[in-house]
Amino acid sequence: MRIEKSFKSLLAFIKQTIMSRQILVISFFLSVFLISCQGRADKNKEAGSNDSISGELIIFHAGSMTVPVKVIADSFQKLHPTLRIYSEAAGSRECARKISDLKKPCDIMISADYLVIDNMLIPDYTDWSIKFASNEMVIAYLPESRRSSEINQNNWFEILMKKEVAYGRADPNSDPCGYRSLLCMQLAEKFYQKPGLEKRMKEKDNNYIRPKEMDLLALLDSHVIDYVFIYKSVACQHKLQWLELPNEVNLKNAAISELYLSVSVQLSGKKPGEFVEQKGEAMLYGITMIKTAPNAKAALAFAEFFLSADAGQKLLEENCQPSVIPEQATGYVMIPESLKKYCLEPGE
């Protein structure tokens, strides 16, 4: 009996010892795991605290840049996780007025026409602009659009003038796409030798004019309109069908700038009752930093990321927007040194 009791006591002792050791082992590994997690958290916290690009970054941009700006901003934010980016889309001229007239805070301005920056913001609100991309005008539509099986380069203006067909365009006083649509009409009148074509087209479907070209997509999707004057990049990004126009009409080819310069439209000026002449020109987008940028450090870092070939420009081209870097810039001597490599020097 004593031997049996002693044996049972020994077994109990062994079990207790094994369990204690298991608990110790588990506790040891748990402690290692927690220390490791804390270490990673401390490193992440330290990395965030060492990142001088933080706070808020405010970007005003053309409506046609909505898709690429989001992609580029998301990529930039991954590099600077404590930075908050606020982007606001509108017609480029409207964006400029938010800065000049409404005095809204803004760090970066991205325009569908660099001349909007040059004419409306330089020299009071910025000193320079860098051209970074090109584009072209097209006629976009859906398979369900009326007469879509018939439209081609030779008859598109006749199709758009049909009574049963409706087309949309952007407001020329708010958006470069709007005045470029009018310039296309004038160039078409010359190219196809159709006197009065621009006047007839301007007088039709005025109830389908919207502040920016992106606003027209909803009308197209809902079949309120059949066709829209729009940028090729936007048609591509939104997987629309589109008709490419001749170079003599589409404002794409800088080699025939003299032809484009032969047409013009009158736009509202900086003051009520004032007007400015907008001549035709091959399309070039522009970017700038605002003098009163609330977050100048983040703005400069974003501009460099945006203009870099292996970062912003790569993402831009992946979203149907052809890069033109390097190109002649406005106000070259005033451009920050880190950005001059994305421009041609004067005289080049």
**pLDDT tens figures, 205-237:** 999 999 998 899 999 999 999 999 999 999 999
DSSP assignment, residue 245? P
- The whole-number pLDDT of residue 10 equals 45
Residue 344 has pLDDT above 90, yes or no: yes
pTM for this predicted structure: 0.84
The residue ranking higher by pLDDT, 24 or 84, is: 84
Half-sphere exposure of 225 (CA within 13 A, CB side): 25
Side-chain half-sphere of 27: how many Cα atoms within 13 Å?
Answer: 6
- pLDDT category at 15 given cuts 50, 70, 90 is low
How many Cβ atoms are within 10 Å of 237's Cβ, its own excluded? 16
Q: Cα 153 vs. chain centroid, distance in angstroms?
A: 29
- In this prediction, residue 79 carries a pLDDT of 97
Closest of 348, 336, 332, 331 to residue 119, by C-alpha: 331
Q: Provide the pLDDT for residue 50.
A: 65
Instruction: Band the pLDDT of 3: cuts 50, 70, 90.
Output: very low
Give percent above pLDDT 90 in the chain: 81
Find the mean pLDDT for residues 309-325. 97
Work out the average pLDDT over 75-98: 97
Tens of pLDDT, residue by residue over 55-69, are 999 999 999 999 999
More confident residue, 49 or 196: 196
Q: Please provide the average confidence, as pLDDT, over all residues in the chain.
A: 89
Sheet of 241-244: strand order equals 209-210, 167-170, 227-231, 137-141, 241-244
Cα gap 235→217, rounded to integer Å:
9
What confidence score (pLDDT) does residue 273 get? 80
pLDDT at residue number 274: 85
Average pLDDT of the residues in 133-159: 98
Give the model's pLDDT for residue 12. Answer: 55
Domain spans, the chain: 1-50, 55-134+284-344, 137-279
Superfamily name with CATH number, domain 137-279: Periplasmic binding protein-like II (3.40.190.10)
Range of weakest confidence among 48-52, 71-75, 163-167, 192-196:
48-52
Beta bridge partners of 59: 87, 108
pLDDT at residue 32 above 80?
no
3-class SS at 301? helix
Multiple choice CATH, 55-134+284-344, 3.40.190.10, 3.40.250.10, 3.30.70.260, 3.90.400.10 = 3.40.190.10
Query: CA angle, corner 138, sides to 73 and 60, nearest 5?
Result: 25
pLDDT digits (tens, 9 = 90+) for 283-314: 999 999 999 999 999 999 999 999 999 999 99
Residues 157-198: tens digit of each pLDDT = 999 999 999 999 999 999 999 999 999 999 999 999 999 999
pLDDT at 20 over 60: no
* Residue 22: both structure tokens together: 């298991």
pLDDT range class, residue 22, cuts 50, 70, 90: low
Query: Residue 244 belongs to what H/E stretch?
Result: strand 241-244
- The answer to whether the 55-134+284-344 and 137-279 domains have the same CATH topology is yes
Residue with tokens 């920050």: 336
